[in-house]
Amino acid sequence: MSEPYKDRVQAGIVLAQNLTQYASNAGLLVLGLPRGGVVVAAEVAAALHAELNVFIVRKLGVPYQPELAMGAVAEDGIVFLNDSVVDYFGLSKETIDDAVKQEVIELKRRVELYRRGRAAPKIRGRTVIVVDDGVATGATMKVAIRALRKSEPQKIIVGVPVGAESTCRELNKEADELVCVLSPEPFTAVGSWYLHFEQTSDEEVCEVLEKYKSRYSAREAGNNYESK
């Protein structure tokens, strides 16, 4: 495929087709990075008959250029900094610390909103597929991988529909396996490879998670009944 995806749903379907070797893997966990990554991850989890959840990471934007990542912070407090960006803009420790504090506040809000009091998913000993709608600098994905490593998963697989080739090479060193469907060169932006790339809202993320939870729980109940 060399044409843009119609939307995140189609991107998830195509990504899942490249991950079929993990279908019905016992204990398989698919984690979407909010917000857009959750929509993609839901399609992957459905195709692979896996549990779906979120892993919340916040990008640390450069002051006055918030879309440019100088790093990221994960929900357990791990911070990754893109040293080349920090050095290029001459960002001070105070500036970075202020950005981390602001994003931690938003991160905690999202944890409460998306999980709704539920515990974080169990990671230890499981095969985990971490999904986003694409990677440009890869800052959020890198910090997600490093944070997840602390929980000792059996394997971490990164799955993205599209990504910058250089970033994918870096992520391949961080993860146990990388599946990136498209690595166009030159790479401009993730959104350039989607016909419809509207911002995903908190409400949409919650709706996707709740719908999938109901469907997954019903399927698991049916499997348990059949095995008796």
Looking at the 3D structure of the chain, how many domains does it have? Answer: 1
Whether 153 is covered by a domain: the verdict is yes
Whether 190 is covered by a domain: the verdict is yes
- Surface-to-core class of residue 113, CB atoms within 10 Å of its CB (0-12 exposed, 13-18 middle, 19+ buried): middle
Q: What angle do CA 86, 91, 96 make, to 5 degrees?
A: 90
Least Cα distance to 158 among 174, 147, 139 occurs for: 174
Assign 228 a pLDDT band (cuts: 50, 70, 90).
very low
Domain that holds residue 198: 8-55+123-226
Whether 131 is covered by a domain: the verdict is yes
Whether 180 is covered by a domain: the verdict is yes
Strands 29-32, 51-54: pairing is parallel
Spatial distance between the Cα atoms of 56 and 185, rounded to a whole number of angstroms = 29
Token pair, residue 134, equals 């694409």
Nearest-Å Rg of the Cα atoms of the chain is 17
Q: What is the pLDDT of the chain when averaged over all its residues?
A: 91
- On whether the CB atoms of residues 162 and 134 are closer than 8 A, the answer is yes
Res. 1: pLDDT tops 60 = no
Pick 65 or 203 by higher pLDDT. Answer: 203
Token pair, residue 85, equals 């960006």
Q: Strand order of the sheet with strand 177-182? A: 51-54, 29-32, 127-131, 155-162, 177-182
Whether 104 is covered by a domain: the verdict is no
Least Cα distance to 200 among 37, 75, 11 occurs for: 37
177: domain CATH number is 3.40.50.2020
Whether 67 is covered by a domain: the verdict is no
Average pLDDT of the residues in 174-187: 95
Reported as half-sphere exposure (CB side, CA atoms, 13 A), residue 117 has a value of 0
What pLDDT score does 119 carry? 82
Whether 221 is covered by a domain: the verdict is yes
Spatial distance between the Cα atoms of 226 and 228, rounded to a whole number of angstroms = 6
Res. 203: pLDDT tops 80 = yes
Average pLDDT of the residues in 145-169: 95
Res. 101: pLDDT tops 80 = yes
Average pLDDT of the residues in 3-30: 95
Q: How many CB atoms lie within 10 A of CB 23?
A: 12
Q: Which residues pair with 81 in a beta bridge?
A: 71
Whether 72 is covered by a domain: the verdict is no
